Every structure is written in structure tokens, then in C-alpha cells.
């Protein structure tokens, strides 16, 4: 009698497949519900000097995870992103953020331009990063109620987002590469703001 089963596989093959299936679990990305516009405005109203980070369509979960980790270290009060064409809080984002995704308020909004207008009415000034900017980050005042705006990988900020910024800044690049990875650029911008804001705080003591 043929030792093979009706499916054409031997019992040894079936046993090996069963052992492999027991140890291989499918990886599923679970999305964590984000906050909304109302939550963002509540955070701003309850904060004496708001420090907000806006990400215009960042799509790589590794970049978002690294950004949230940096935002937590810089003391950012909330990170804002659009609902469309942008990554949310996934297991990958949480892992790369080393837990920061569970602490930094992450807000996803339907209309980013409208949210920016609401934040302006609440007294925030907007500084966006752009290669077309005339001034460098280090020439701008990053103290006071502030929203830093960074664009997506490769394309940068969308036109309407850029038009809603009060000031544009660029990072001085001394090498051959034209720009930094968005998570690295975010770190540079956030901690320059931290430096300026800390100096202001120390001068008042």
C-alpha cells in the first residue's frame, strides 16, 4: 500500500507541518484609537505654554515610533496628524517608541488645515520645516505657544499645510545629502525648541 496520503504528502510531512504551524503565529497590526480635535483643544486650553508637534502625512510606522519617543523626551504636549494618508498607533509604532506611544497624546484630525486655524485662534505660532525657507531653525524664536510642523517622507509638507505656517525654517546641511530623515529632523527641531524654552524659563528664576 502506498504510504502517501490522498493529498500526496507523507505522514512525516504532515507532522512536520503541524509542528511548524504551532510555532508560527500570524502578525497582526492592531491600531490604537487616537484622540480627536476636541481632546487637542482641551489639552491646549489646560496648558500654560503649549508645545505641539504636527506631522503632515508621515506614513512609516518606524518613523512615527521614533518621533513619539523623541516627543516624549522633549516634553511635547500632543502630536497631531491627519487621519488620511498617515500612519496611526500600531504595534510596530508602540514597539519602536519604547512605550512613548502610551504616554504622548496622539491626535488624528479630519482636516489638518482647519485644526491649524483653531490652534492659531488659541494663540499658537506655527513653524514649519522647508528646504525653501530663507532662515535656519536657529534664527527663529521657538519660545512661547508653539506648533512645530514637519512633512511626510520624501515630499515634505503639503502646500496648504505650508501656507498655514507663520514661519518656515530649514536645517543647515553641510554635506552632499540634501535632507535628513523625518524622525531625525524632528529630533533636531524639538530639542532646539527645548533649548530656547529652557533658557527663557531659567531667566525667569
Q: What is the pLDDT of residue 24?
A: 41
pLDDT at 12: 54
pLDDT of residue 178: 84
pLDDT value for 160: 95
pLDDT per residue as tens, the chain (205 positions): 444 433 444 455 545 554 444 444 444 555 555 899 999 999 999 999 999 999 999 999 999 999 999 999 999 999 999 999 999 999 999 999 999 999 999 999 999 999 999 999 999 999 999 988 999 999 999 999 999 999 998 889 999 999 999 999 999 999 988 889 999 999 999 999 999 999 876 666 5
> What strands, in cross-sheet order, belong to the sheet with 78-82?
106-109, 78-82, 51-56, 146-151, 125-129, 167-169
Which pLDDT score, from 0 to 100, does residue 107 have? Answer: 97
For residue 7, the model assigns a pLDDT of 43
Per-residue pLDDT, 199:
80
pLDDT at 33: 57
Supply the pLDDT for residue 155: 85
CA distance 52 to 85: 20
Q: What is the pLDDT of residue 203?
A: 62
User: Partners of 125 in the beta sheet?
Assistant: 146
User: According to the model, what pLDDT value does residue 32 have?
Assistant: 53
- Domains in the chain and their CATH numbers? 37-204 (3.40.1280.10)
Rg value, the chain, Cα: 23
pLDDT number for residue 34:
80
> What is the reported pTM?
0.82
pLDDT at 92: 96
What integer pLDDT is reported at residue 154 of this predicted model?
A: 83
| Cell numbers standing for residue 107 | 491626535
| DSSP-assigned letters across all residues of 91-154 | HHHHHHTTTGGGTS-EEEES-HHHHHHHHHHTT-EEEEE-TT-SSBGGGS---SSEEEEEEBTT
Q: What's residue 9's pLDDT?
A: 46
Amino acid at each position: 500500500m502506498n504510504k502517501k496520503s490522498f493529498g500526496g504528502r507523507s505522514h512525516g510531512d504532515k507532522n512536520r507541518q503541524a509542528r511548524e504551524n504551532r510555532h508560527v503565529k500570524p502578525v497582526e497590526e492592531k491600531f490604537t484609537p487616537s484622540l480627536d480635535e476636541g481632546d487637542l483643544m482641551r489639552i491646549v486650553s489646560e496648558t500654560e505654554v503649549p508645545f505641539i508637534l504636527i506631522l503632515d502625512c508621515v506614513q512609516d510606522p518606524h518613523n512615527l515610533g521614533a518621533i513619539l519617543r523623541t516627543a516624549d523626551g522633549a516634553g511635547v504636549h500632543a502630536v497631531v496628524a491627519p487621519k488620511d494618508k498617515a500612519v496611526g498607533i500600531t504595534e510596530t509604532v508602540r514597539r519602536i517608541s519604547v512605550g512613548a506611544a502610551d504616554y504622548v497624546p496622539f491626535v488624528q484630525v479630519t482636516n489638518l488645515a482647519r485644526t491649524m486655524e483653531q490652534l492659531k485662534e488659541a494663540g499658537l505660532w506655527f513653524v514649519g520645516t522647508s528646504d525653501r525657507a530663507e532662515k535656519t531653525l536657529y534664527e527663529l524664536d521657538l519660545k512661547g505657544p508653539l506648533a512645530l510642523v514637519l512633512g511626510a517622507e520624501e515630499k515634505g509638507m503639503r502646500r496648504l499645510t505650508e501656507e498655514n505656517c507663520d514661519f518656515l525654517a530649514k536645517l543647515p546641511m553641510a554635506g552632499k545629502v540634501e535632507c535628513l530623515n523625518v524622525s531625525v529632523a524632528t529630533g533636531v527641531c524639538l530639542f532646539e525648541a527645548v533649548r530656547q524654552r529652557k533658557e527663557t524659563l531659567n531667566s525667569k528664576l
